[in-house]
């Protein structure tokens, strides 16, 4: 359920600690910015154990990783039925809903992080976010539904329809197509959090009879894909994925596999999120995951900087139209870039902390390159997850160094330094930034790079954009629970 099984399940651990609870001898840790600062051990009652105790996992368990067979000359997919290209993009962001405006703002190094004014946050310890303002769904959602919908679904529907328009798949064109061959996978980490919170408030204050009939439908996480399909008549594979902040990349990976297996010709895919509201902000404050730089919001998100103190919440939606090359060529579609491959793995380590050895991430990168038919030497751009957390930034960097032995030609950057962390939408927005880098030959900067960590030895494009011809790019997204995802994009070559 949205709002119950969101990306931060750490509340189980924190509440148990505060109540002095016992979780079968589990070691329960306190975290500051997702870094362990203290731990305590709870005694076991007898010998009983359910085998699933929550643990702080201060040390990574030794896991034997079987090396994948060495591929001396990777071969990319040649079959036009299986090659997957990007033919459309759509977004809703803190910089608006126009793709070029969004990327130009990123290239300029402009921060979209401001003080929250959607609700009274004056008593919150964190009072800023990448809050979207002046959003309009006019022309995409009718007025009656627009008033009812949670922002999570409004963002997703608008981004999805804009992506279809960009792919020359407007309503009139879709009516002439076999829509059973077109699917939708738009995921979310939190779901309709405002709808869920409003329903709970009605229950507590007025009783169950006053709960809106839209409470459940507009809260559950599958509704983004469902509503977009209902509006457009798309009858192909349709579901949502919720893997916290890795959600959108998981969706891209799943959608491409539907195309490769011949189950769909076109997939409308991405992530959407709208958690800049009291429950969302308050929940992440409780996780001790957020920056508290209230006096300088625009300088709060600072990946790889020694003075970083947590991530900054963002919101929005990012959606791609993924299509078989055969389908795109047959209908004369604009081909923006090519999706070469991807991978998903799990850290199997901790609810919020990354593995210190980076095994889950490095293996995910390696598997994505194998799936793409790409050698590490071909990659020269990484759009990093780079959330600005104390532990996460260095763990990701370590994993990147482990896979790419020669990083002299690689550049990495952090989109979240300007728009904040879009949670389930992050991978969608960052995929668009990655593809725009491929198309324009310009990489946006990572802003607020004032005091770089000494261990970070790859060019992070600090503070000012750089011209860079992208050969192959990867985009990383990782989520609470240890969910890792990597997708691989490249310029389209017939």
Give pLDDT, residue 232.
97
Tokens of 84: 């997957």
The alpha carbon of 127 is separated from its chain's Cα centroid by a whole number of angstroms, namely 22
Average pLDDT over residues 432-439: 98
pLDDT in tens, 12-36: 333 333 334 443 333 334 334 444 4
- Minimal CA–CA distance to 354: which of 312, 301, 400? 400
Domains along the sequence of the chain with CATH = 84-490 (3.40.47.10)
Q: Give this prediction's pTM.
A: 0.85
Q: Is the pLDDT of residue 266 over 90?
A: yes
Over residues 291-295, the mean pLDDT reads 97
Rg (CA), the chain: 22
pLDDT at 74: 75
pLDDT at 352: 85
pLDDT score at 9: 36
pLDDT, tens digit, 9 for 90 and up, residues 114-166: 999 999 999 999 999 999 999 999 999 998 888 899 999 999 999 999 999 99
Give residue 416's pLDDT.
98
- Max distance between CA atoms of the chain, in angstroms, equals 69
Average pLDDT rounded to a whole number, residues 196-218: 91
Confidence tier at 299 by pLDDT (50, 70, 90): very high
In percent, the amount of the chain with pLDDT more than 90 equals: 77
- Catalytic-residue membership of 245: yes
Q: Which of 385, 444, 468, 483 is catalytic?
A: 385
The least confident of 50-59, 109-118, 267-276, 472-481 is 50-59
Question: Alpha-carbon distance 316 to 159, whole Å?
Answer: 9
**What is the model's pLDDT at position 143?**
85
Region class of 441: left (phi > 0), else alpha (psi between -120 and 50), else beta: left
**What mean pLDDT is predicted for residues 84-105?**
98
pLDDT band (50, 70, 90) for residue 357: confident
The residue from 258, 349, 350, 421 that is catalytic is: 421
**Is the pLDDT assigned to residue 3 strictly greater than 50?**
no
The predicted structure's pLDDT at residue 73: 56
Query: Which one of 8, 152, 245, 364 is the catalytic residue?
Result: 245
Identify whether 444 is a catalytic site residue: no
Residue 347: predicted pLDDT: 85
Strand partners, 458: none
Give the length of the chain: 494
Predicted pLDDT at 57: 46
β-partners of residue 459 are: 411
When the pLDDT of each residue in the chain is averaged and rounded to a whole number, the result is 87
The mean pLDDT of 270-282, rounded to a whole number, is: 97
Q: How far is CA 342 from CA 100, 112, 323, in A?
A: 26, 29, 15
Reported as a single tens digit per residue, the pLDDT across 42-77 is: 343 444 334 433 334 445 555 444 444 444 457 899
Give per-residue pLDDT as tens, 323-340.
999 999 999 999 999 999
Q: How far apart are CA 189 and CA 250, in angstroms?
A: 11
Known catalytic residue: 258? Answer: no
């Amino acid at each position: 359920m949205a709002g119950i099984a969101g990306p931060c399940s750490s509340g189980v651990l924190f509440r148990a600690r505060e109540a002095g609870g016992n979780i079968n001898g589990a070691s329960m840790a306190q975290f500051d910015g997702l870094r362990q600062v203290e731990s305590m051990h709870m005694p076991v009652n007898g010998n009983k154990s359910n085998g699933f105790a929550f643990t702080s996992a201060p040390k990574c368990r030794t896991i034997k990783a079987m090396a994948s067979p060495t591929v001396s000359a990777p071969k990319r997919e040649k079959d036009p039925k299986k090659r997957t290209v990007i033919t459309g993009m759509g977004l809703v962001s803190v910089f608006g809903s126009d793709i070029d405006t969004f990327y130009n703002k990123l290239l300029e190094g402009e921060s979209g992080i401001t003080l929250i004014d959607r609700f009274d946050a004056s008593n919150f310890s964190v009072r800023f976010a990448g809050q979207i303002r002046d959003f309009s769904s006019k022309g995409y959602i009718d007025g009656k539904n627009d008033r009812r919908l949670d922002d999570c679904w409004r963002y997703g529907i608008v981004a999805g329809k804009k992506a279809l328009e960009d792919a020359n798949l407007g309503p009139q064109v879709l009516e002439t197509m076999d829509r059973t061959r077109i699917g939708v996978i738009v995921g979310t980490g939190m779901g309709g959090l405002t709808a869920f919170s409003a329903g709970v408030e009605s229950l507590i204050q007025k009783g169950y009879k006053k709960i809106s009939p839209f409470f459940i439908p507009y809260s559950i996480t599958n509704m983004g894909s469902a509503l977009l399909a209902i509006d457009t008549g798309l009858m192909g594979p349709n579901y949502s994925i919720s893997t916290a902040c890795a959600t959108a990349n998981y969706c891209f990976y799943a959608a491409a596999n539907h195309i490769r297996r011949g189950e769909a010709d076109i997939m409308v895919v991405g992530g959407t999120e709208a958690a800049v509201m009291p429950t969302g902000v308050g929940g992440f404050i409780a996780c001790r995951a957020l920056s508290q730089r209230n006096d300088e919001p625009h300088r709060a998100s600072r990946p790889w900087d020694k003075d970083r103190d947590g991530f900054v919440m963002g919101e929005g939606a990012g959606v791609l139209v993924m299509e078989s090359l055969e389908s795109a060529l047959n209908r004369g579609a604009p081909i923006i870039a090519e999706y070469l491959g991807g991978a998903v793995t799990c850290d199997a380590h901790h609810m919020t902390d990354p593995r210190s050895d980076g095994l889950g991430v490095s293996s995910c990168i390696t598997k994505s390159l194998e799936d793409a038919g790409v050698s590490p030497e071909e990659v020269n751009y990484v759009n990093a997850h780079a959330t600005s957390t104390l532990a996460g930034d260095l763990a990701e960097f370590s994993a990147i160094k482990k896979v790419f032995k020669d990083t002299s030609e690689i550049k990495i950057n952090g989109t979240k330094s300007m728009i904040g962390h879009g949670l389930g939408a992050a991978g969608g927005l960052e995929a668009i930034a990655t593809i725009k880098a491929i198309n324009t030959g310009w990489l946006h900067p990572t802003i607020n790079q004032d005091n770089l960590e000494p261990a970070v030895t790859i060019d992070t494009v600090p503070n000012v954009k750089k011209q860079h011809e992208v050969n192959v790019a990867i985009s990383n997204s990782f989520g609470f629970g240890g969910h890792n995802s990597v997708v691989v994009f490249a310029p389209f070559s017939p």
